[in-house]
Amino acid sequence: MNMKKIAPIGNSERFFVTGTTPALINAIRRISMNSVPVLAIETVSFYDNDSVMFDEMVAHRLAMIPLKTDSKSYKQGDSMKLLLEKEGPGTVYSGDLESTDPKIEVSDKKIPIVKLKKGDKIKLEATAIMETGREHVKWQSAIIGFKQTAALTTTKDCNLCKECIKACPKGLIEEKSGKIILKDSIECTLCGECRDVCKKNALEILPEKDSFVLSIESTGSLSTAEIIKNSIEVLEAKVNDFKKEVKKLS
Amino acid sequence: MMVPVRCFSCGKAIGQAYEEFLERVKKGEKAEKVLDDLKITRYCCRRMIFSQADLIDDFMKYNV
């Protein structure tokens, strides 16, 4: 297995992975979405809320805020407290949340929570717990996906009519020394436009079996490296558990 | 009532981008460019921002 970092799209980091199977990549994908524990607000006690939003709405908004998690000192089920106190007029931002643990903070300080009029007060105590995405999306660690790269082949019937070059919506096909080739197998979306437009049926474009583009965008709680590392640890624990059960049988 | 904290479809935090988006679009920048700049690339997240109508200011007029 070989892994190489390639140009990111927006905040998504992308990796070019070769020499593995879709099953393994997909296992990592599923685990990082629903089994890597991160912190998110679960219960909120209100002391004061004069805003136009109901307590439940404010609590829901608070829960969705990603918290930077220290996955070394916090394990699944652990909890910590955050405090919020503000008086209007003005907007209450996620940055106004005061964490009781200096290692934990909100990942973005500019997320608006609620607006307050002059004299309005809000005061609350929130408890964040370490859980997994299986319970609720607020504990999802990453937005992650993978795709297979493309391989283009032509047969002898190809008469170099260049229809496929014109048809490619991303402009990735070109002619090089009398042959039709794919410039970039990573950016190709496998739309099949080049194959459909070929009158001679001389062109085929198929996904490669063992090379992938893995794109990972952290929700803000963990770094990309931590997400991959933690999901591998979870997978390892699951396999070891399975191993133990199998041993009991023999 | 206010801009959602996360994208409904993918779960990316997008709430922080709304105020800057409004400000820059009001100044005359193209919405498309501002979203690219704010690194909101997927169309699920993009619709969260440009289809948002903040109503909280209207609610605040009637609150006693």
- Any B CB within 8 A of A3 CB: no
Query: Which residue is associated with the tokens 């032509």?
Result: A154
For A89, nearest residue in chain B (alpha carbons):
B60
Q: Which of A39, A4, A23 is nearest to A140 (CA)?
A: A39
Q: Which of B13, B39, B56 sits opposite A52 (nearest CB)?
A: B56
Query: Best interface-test mutation with B: which of A12, A29, A36, A111 has the largest number of B CBs within 10 A?
Result: A111
Among residues A184, A185, A172, which one has the least CA distance to residue A212? Answer: A185
The rounded distance, in Å, linking the Cα atoms of B56 and A88 is: 14
Element (H, E) at A118: none
Written as six digits, the tokens of A117 are 């009029």
Confirm or reject contact between A9 and chain B (CB < 8 A).
yes
* Residue A19, helix vs strand vs coil: coil
Q: Does B12 contact chain A (CB < 8 Å)?
A: yes
Region A152-166: what's the mean pLDDT? Answer: 90
At A46, is the pLDDT very low, low, confident or very high (cuts 50, 70, 90)?
very high
CATH fold label, A2-34+149-215: Alpha-Beta Plaits (3.30.70)
Q: Say what the pLDDT of residue A143 is.
A: 95
Kindly report the pTM of this predicted structure: 0.87
What local confidence, expressed as pLDDT, does residue A63 receive? 96
User: What are the helix (H) ranges across B14-64?
Assistant: 17-26, 31-37, 43-50, 56-62
Q: Distance (Å, rounded) from C-alpha A80 to C-alpha A41?
A: 9
Residue A93 makes CB contacts below 8 A (sequence gap 6+) with A109, A110, A111, A112, A113
What is the distance in angstroms between the Cα of B14 and the nearest Cα belonging to chain A? 8
In this model, does residue A34 exceed pLDDT 90?
Answer: yes
Q: Which letter does DSSP use for residue B5 in this model? A: S
pLDDT tens, residue by residue, A166-216: 999 999 999 988 889 999 999 999 999 999 999 989 999 999 999 999 999
Among A57, A64, A110, select the one facing B6 at the smallest CB separation: A64
Pick the CATH number of B17-62 from 1.10.10.10, 3.40.50.880, 1.10.10.60, 1.10.630.10: 1.10.10.60
The answer to whether residues A125 and B19 touch, using CB atoms and an 8 Å cutoff, is: no
Minimal C-alpha gap between A29 and chain B (Å): 14
A contact test, residue of B3, B12, B19 with most A CBs within 10 A: B12
Q: Do B39 and A108 touch (CB under 8 A)?
A: no
Neighbours of A226 (CB within 10 A): 19
Residues of B with Cβ-Cβ distance to A108 under 8 angstroms: 13, 15-16
Q: Where are the alpha helices (DSSP H) in A35-152?
A: 55-64
Query: Considering the domain A38-139 in this protein, what is its CATH number?
Result: 2.170.120.12
- Domain residues of chain B, as ranges? 17-62
What is the rounded distance in angstroms from the CA atom of residue A5 to the CA atom of residue A42? 35
Q: Of the candidates A61, A109, A117, which has its C-beta nearest B60's C-beta?
A: A117
Per residue in A91-130, pLDDT (tens digit) is: 999 999 999 999 999 999 999 999 999 999 999 999 999 9
Q: Which two tokens stand for residue A148?
A: 């297979």
Q: Which of B5, B11, B63 sits opposite A65 (nearest CB)?
A: B5
Read off the pLDDT of residues B12-55 as tens digits, 9 standing for 90 and up.
Answer: 999 999 999 999 999 999 999 999 999 999 999 999 999 999 99
Q: How far apart are CA A170 and CA B58, in angstroms?
A: 45
Any chain A CB within 8 A of the CB of B5? yes
Q: Which residue has the tokens 């965008």?
A: A217
Indicate whether B64 pLDDT > 80.
Answer: no
- Chain A interface includes B11 (CB < 8 A): yes
Pair A99, A80: CB distance under 8 Å: yes
The residue ranges of every structural domain in chain A are: 2-34+149-215, 38-139
| Dihedral pair phi/psi, residue A117, rounded to 5° | -85, 175
For helices B17-26 and B43-50, the axis angle rounded to 10 degrees is 60
**β-strand pairing of A121-131 with A38-49:** antiparallel
Best A11, A36, A91, A143 member to test B by mutation, with max B CBs in 10 Å, is A143
